[in-house]
Chains A and B, each alone.
Chain A
Amino acid sequence: MKHGMEIAVAALIIVFAAVFLFQDAAIQASLGDGEEAWGGADGEAADLIEASGYEPWTEPFWAPPSGEIESLLFALQAAIGAVIIGYVFGYWQGSRKTA
C-alpha cells in the first residue's frame, strides 16, 4: 500500500484525540467548582515537592506576564521549527523535480 504508513499514523492520532474526548467528559463531570483538569505534569511534580516543605531557592528572572503571552511565545517556538522543516523538505522536493 502506497500510503499505508500515513494512514496508520493518522488513525493513531485520531484514536489519541478520541480517548482524550472521552476521558475529558468523564473528568469534567467529576470536577468540583473552581477545579481545573489538564494542568501541566511539571506543576503536579512541583506541588508534590512543595508539599514536603521545600521552597524553590530562586525564581525565573522573567516570566510571561499572562497566559496569552505565554501562548504567543509557544506558538512562535512551534512556528520557527515548522518554517525550517517546511523549507528544507520543500527545497529537497524541488531540487529532485528539477534534477
Chain B
Amino acid sequence: MHIMEGFLPSPWWQVWFLVSLPFIIIGLYQLNKLVQEKREALPLLAVAGAFVFVLSSLKLPSFNGSCSHPTGTGLGGVLFGPCIAAVLGLIVLVFQAVFLAHGGITTLGANVFSMGIAGPAVAYLIYKAGTRAGANTYATVFCAAALADLSTYVVTSVQLALAFPGTAGFLGAFSAFAAIFAVTQVPLAIVEGAVIMLVFKYIVQLKPEILTRLNLLSESTVKKLQEAAA
C-alpha cells in the first residue's frame, strides 16, 4: 500500500526523492563491493530481493475490514543493511508503479524511503542490538522483520500527515492516517515476522557460512542453533 501517483504535492515528492537518493547511491556502491568481494553472498541477495517481490504482491485482509500487504524488506535489512535493501525496494517499487499503477513514479522517492530505507533500517538496528545483547537469534529476527513492516506504514502515515496536515494539524492528520495504515498492519506484521524467522532458520541450516561471512552470526552461535534444531 504505497502512496499513489499524484498524491504528494510539491515540494514533498521532490523532498523525498532528495532524502532517498543518497541511500540508493551508497546502496549501489555497497552492492558493487559485495559482488566483488563476497560473491558467495549473491544467492542470498537474490533471496532477499525475491522475498520483497513475493510478500509485497500479497494483499492480505486485516481485522478492520481493509487489505494491505506485508513488505518483506526486513530480511534484506537484517542481512545487508538499509542501503542495499533500498536498492531491492526500488526495483520492486518500480515494477509495481510501471506495471500495476500501484504506487507511482512521482511518489517513488517517498515510497522508497518508507519501504526500502526506514523499514530495513529498523530491522538492521534491532538485529544488531539483539545480537549484541545476546538475545535469542530467532526472536531477534522475528522482532526485526515485524517492526520493519510496521515502521514502513508508520513512516507512510508521517509522510502523508506532513503533506496533508489539513485543519487537524500534523498530529491529528498523523493519527487519522495511522488508523488506516499502521493499525491495519499490526496482524500482518506479526505474520511476516514469523515467516521471515522461519526463512532465517533455513538459511542457518543450509548455508550458515554466508551468515558468518557477512558478520551476522558467530560460528559458535551457528553451531548452537544447528544443534538445537537437530
Return the chain A residue nearest B157 by Cβ: A45
Return the chain A residue nearest B44 by Cβ: A88
B66 at the interface (CB under 8 A from A): yes
Return the chain A residue nearest B202 by Cβ: A89
By the criterion of a CB under 8 Å from any partner CB, how many residues of chain B are at the interface?
Answer: 64
Contact A82 B50 (CB under 8 A): yes
A43 to chain B, nearest CB (A): 8
**A43-68 interface (Cβ within 8 A of B):** 43-46, 48-49, 52, 54, 56-64
Contact A41 B180 (CB under 8 A): yes
Contact A41 B50 (CB under 8 A): no
A residues in contact with B164, CB < 8 Å:
49, 52, 54
A17 to chain B, nearest CB (A): 9
Contact B46 A41 (CB under 8 A): no
Pick the residue among B58, B101, B177 that contacts A60 (CB under 8 A). B101
Q: Is the interface of B mostly helix, strand, loop or mixed?
A: helix
How many contacts between A and B, using CB within 8 angstroms? 156
0/1 interface trace, chain B 189-230, chain A, CB 8 Å (1 if under): 011001101100110001100000000000000000000011
Contact B49 A84 (CB under 8 A): yes
How many angstroms from the CA of A45 to the CA of B206 in the assembled complex? 42
B residues in contact with A77, CB < 8 Å:
53-54, 56-57, 92, 95-96, 100
B130 at the interface (CB under 8 A from A): no
Pick the residue among B49, B52, B100 that contacts A64 (CB under 8 A). B100
Pick the residue among B65, B106, B197 that contacts A37 (CB under 8 A). B65
A residues in contact with B96, CB < 8 Å:
77
How many angstroms from the CA of A64 to the CA of B99 in the assembled complex? 7
Q: A5-B138, A91-B43, A93-B206 are in contact. Are A44 and B187 (CB under 8 A)?
A: no
A85 to chain B, nearest CB (A): 5
B144 to chain A, nearest CB (A): 16
Pick the residue among A40, A56, A63, A91 that contacts B68 (CB under 8 A). A40
Contact A42 B4 (CB under 8 A): yes
Chain B residues engaging chain A, CB cutoff 8 angstroms: 1-7, 9, 43-44, 46-47, 49-59, 61-63, 65-68, 92, 95-101, 104-106, 138, 160, 164, 166, 176-177, 180-181, 184-185, 187, 190-191, 194-195, 197-198, 201-202, 206-207, 229-230
Not counting A38-B61, A74-B59, a sample of 9 additional A-B residue pairs whose C-beta atoms are within 8 angstroms of each other reads A2-B230, A41-B185, A48-B177, A52-B166, A60-B5, A62-B98, A78-B57, A78-B58, A88-B43
